[in-house]
Amino acid sequence: MRAFRLSGNRVHFVPGWWLALPGTLVLASCSGNQSSLAPAGREAEQIARLFWWMTAGAVAIWLAVAGLFFYAVRRRTEPRSERWGRLLILVGGAVVPAVVLGGLLAYGLSMMPPLVNRAPPGTRTIAVDGAMWWWRVSYPGPDGRTVELANEIRLPVGEPVEFQLTSSDVIHSFWIPSLAGKRDMIPGRLTHLALTPVRTGVFRGQCAEYCGTSHALMSFDVVVVEKEEFAAWLAQQAAPARAPVESLAISGQKQFLANGCGACHSVRGTPARGLIGPDLTHVGSRMSLGAGILPNEPDAFLRWIAHTPTVKPEVHMPAFGMLPPEELQALAAYLEGLK
């Protein structure tokens, strides 16, 4: 690869191998579980295809302009005629960009209807409510009952789903880059996002609209599995919590109820029926805690319970660091055991 520098009225080319570094960094970022360029959904594939066509269009315009530039500086040194200059401006500055950009615009507009339309009748629906700074996820059942969980979504591969999106407080934006585009979540308004996963895996979702202090700590996991595995998982999530059997977890359940945790959180099958915070019926089976910021393990539960505002600034959940260490350990063991 070469770069060039100007010296008087001449162009000198110099080695420019270092120019490959930015391109290498860009290509290295085109993978992972939160990349629009590593699509795992039908809609994300369309968006990635549009990106590559737009990139090709940008390269075509750049090559046209660069080609004219090199032709002008390398072929002759005497001034061109006024007619030649006008033709150069017309073709390189107007015709080529208009044709390329017009084609990209037409192609992009043709992709919009399938990306913004509602899913067909009979499609599985999942309700997601964005709150500062976590996600309430609800699976309506055919019998009228709703399975609720938080900060984690599971989807069957190859089956279209429609998300019904709203917000409890401020504007959030629901985005799973590897599966589909983004959609705003607006208080008092219901928006929709349809998508179809095409391969299994674990993908990362994120709030894409600044929503306050802990906006960057508002992520979630999306697990795409086979249809049979999804059906078994949903049936397990619909069941009430199993009673703890170990002495530490039994003590933790007592502490959970005695310290008022049930005023905000629900654990189905127990007296805890709070509706303010996340449903914790099967919290121990989730992949992470605190909306994707902590691993699901006893030490992380203890840290979250005792130092909540430190882990997630300005979160609405109060910290319980004033409890004795043995009570905190019991609480963590109880919650981690809610599989």
Whether residue 90 has pLDDT greater than 70: yes
Average pLDDT over residues 215-231: 95
Whether residue 162 has pLDDT greater than 90: yes
* Single-letter code of the amino acid located at 338: L
Give percent above pLDDT 90 in the chain. Answer: 59
Residue 294, both tokens: 């902590």
H or E stretch including 60?
helix 42-75
Whether residue 16 has pLDDT greater than 50: no
Whether residue 88 has pLDDT greater than 90: no
What is the predicted pLDDT for the residue at 35?
82
Render pLDDT for 285-304 as a digit per residue (tens, 0 to 9).
999 999 989 999 889 999 99
Task: Give the separation between CA 3 and CA 148, rounded to whole angstroms.
Answer: 58
Task: Give the separation between CA 80 and CA 254, rounded to whole angstroms.
Answer: 89
H or E stretch including 252?
helix 247-258
Task: Give the separation between CA 236 and CA 316, rounded to whole angstroms.
Answer: 29
Within 13 A of 33's CA, how many CA atoms are on the CB side? Answer: 13
What is the predicted pLDDT for the residue at 77?
63
Whether residue 14 has pLDDT greater than 70: no
Cα torsion angle, 179, 182, 186, 188, sign: negative
Of 24-28, 177-181, 191-195, which range is least confident?
24-28
What is the predicted pLDDT for the residue at 81?
74
What is the predicted pLDDT for the residue at 86?
82
Of 25-29, 161-165, 234-238, 332-336, which range is least confident?
25-29
pTM, two decimals, is 0.80
What is the predicted pLDDT for the residue at 30?
60
Whether residue 134 has pLDDT greater than 80: yes
Give all domains of the chain, ordered by start, each with its CATH number. 2-116 (no CATH), 124-238 (2.60.40.420), 247-336 (2.60.40.420)
- Could you tell me which of 107, 104, 126, 115 has the C-alpha nearest to residue 182? 115
Residue 218, both tokens: 């508002």
Greater confidence, 41 or 8?
Answer: 41
What is the predicted pLDDT for the residue at 207?
95
Calculate the CA dihedral of residues 32, 38, 43, 45 and round it to 10 degrees. Answer: 180
